[in-house]
């Protein structure tokens, strides 16, 4: 496993970082806490020591599961989590409504006022069972709060030792520029995959130029690029893939054919298509790490092993050609 520094901070993360959205149990067809804990233990054992979460992932459930799993192992891991999606206040900008564990609908707002951010940090610390967070990220921009106020909260938390570094997620270049006038940014967390590469136009060049780490999410495009997708796969209504244009019949056909072309290249490294996709992602210029979910120990081990090989120059050129040829109807 490679460990890469996030910007000018002193935080290093594993190039393959475990994304813990799915273990929150919502929008992804449920979860099994015991298997999730076992997956986290396996991830640590094989060197995938960084974990990314957010309070909104199951209304705190993801963070709590991570906290359970890292008891006695806090010194071996890096915790990345977020703030700015609040269901305890109706301030800010309405984002979505979802049921909690008791079946009660919760309205979630994008809100990052200073007092709310500091309160959210304390709540996350309690769920994790720790006294500091390695990287604390603004989940989404709250347009009702000046960025200066939000970043002042980051500065306060850094000085208090509650967080080691500040980051953002889903931010534009202009928004990051405004943030950096108040506090250094260690990282940005945008979506990125073989079929979603828009950040190559502006986000990646800006982050490279200004030494900001880039930790991308959804490199497998919600499982579309695993090489395991079939035409007859069905998703339950509570699974967000059920209504995703990426999973339309025509797009599935194109991706299945694409993965079939990747398979011989992956097999040359004793790897799966999914591992090849992860490997491609973490070696893209400007990418610091990729978030990849795991529901069980076997998946965690497979994901971590994706960092253990390097494509030859000819293979990299071949993969890039196949990626450019793949066009989806979105």
pLDDT value at residue 199: 97
| pLDDT lower than 50: segments of the chain | none
The pLDDT, as a whole number, for residue 178 is 96
d(CA 212, CA 176): 10
Specify the pLDDT at position 224: 92
**What CA–CA distance (Å, rounded) separates 190 from 199?**
8
Return the half-sphere exposure (C-beta side, CA atoms, 13 A cut-off) of residue 302.
17
Count Cβ atoms below 10 Å from residue 261 Cβ, excluding itself.
Answer: 15
Going along the chain, which residue ranges are E strands? 3-5, 12-14, 16-19, 50-52, 78-83, 85-86, 93-99, 105-110, 133-138, 163-169, 187-189, 213-216, 289-292
pLDDT digits (tens, 9 = 90+) for 195-249: 999 999 999 999 999 999 999 999 999 889 999 988 888 887 777 788 888 988 8
The residue assigned the tokens 């393959």 is: 16
Q: What does the buried/exposed string (b/e) look like for 53-79 if buried means 16 or more CB atoms within 10 Å of the residue's CB?
A: bbbbbbbbbbbbbbbbbbeeeeeebbb
* Given the residues 57, 136, 217, 246, the one annotated as active site: 57
Residue 294: count other Cβ atoms within 10 Å of its Cβ. 26
Q: Is 57 a catalytic residue?
A: yes
**What is the maximum alpha-carbon separation in the chain?**
54
Give 237-261 pLDDT, tens digit per residue.
777 788 888 988 899 999 999 999 9
Assess contact for 91 and 150: CB atoms under 8 A. Answer: no
Domains of the chain, first to last: 3-222+275-310 (3.20.20.100)
């Amino acid at each position: 496993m490679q460990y890469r520094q996030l910007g000018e901070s002193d935080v290093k993360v594993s190039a393959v970082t475990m994304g813990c959205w799915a273990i929150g149990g919502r929008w992804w067809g449920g979860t099994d806490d015991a298997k999730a804990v076992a997956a986290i233990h396996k991830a640590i054992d094989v060197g995938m020591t960084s974990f990314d979460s957010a309070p909104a992932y199951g209304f705190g459930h993801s963070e709590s599961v991570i906290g359970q799993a890292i008891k006695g192992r806090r010194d071996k891991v890096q915790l990345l989590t977020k703030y700015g999606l609040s269901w305890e206040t109706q301030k800010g900008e309405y984002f979505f409504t979802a049921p909690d564990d008791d079946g009660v609908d919760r309205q979630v707002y994008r809100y990052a006022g200073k007092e709310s951010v500091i309160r959210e940090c304390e709540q996350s610390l309690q769920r994790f069972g720790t006294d500091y967070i390695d990287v604390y990220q603004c989940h989404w921009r709250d347009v009702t709060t000046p960025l200066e106020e939000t970043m002042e909260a980051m500065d306060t938390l850094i000085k208090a030792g509650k967080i080691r570094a500040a980051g953002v997620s889903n931010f534009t270049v202009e928004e990051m520029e405004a943030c950096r006038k108040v506090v250094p940014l260690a990282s940005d967390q945008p979506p990125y995959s073989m079929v979603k590469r828009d950040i190559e136009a502006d986000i990646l060049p800006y982050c490279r130029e200004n030494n900001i780490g880039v930790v991308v999410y959804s490199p497998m495009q919600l499982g579309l690029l695993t090489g395991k997708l079939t035409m007859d796969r069905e998703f339950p209504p509570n699974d967000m893939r059920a209504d995703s244009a990426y999973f339309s019949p025509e797009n599935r056909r194109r991706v299945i054919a694409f993965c079939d072309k990747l398979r011989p290249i992956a097999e040359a490294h004793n790897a799966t298509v999914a591992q090849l996709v992860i490997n491609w992602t973490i070696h893209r210029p400007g990418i610091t790490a990729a978030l990849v979910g795991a529901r069980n120990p076997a998946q965690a081990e497979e994901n971590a092993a994706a960092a253990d090989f390097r494509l030859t120059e000819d293979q990299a050129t071949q993969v890039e050609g196949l990626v450019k040829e793949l066009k989806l109807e979105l």
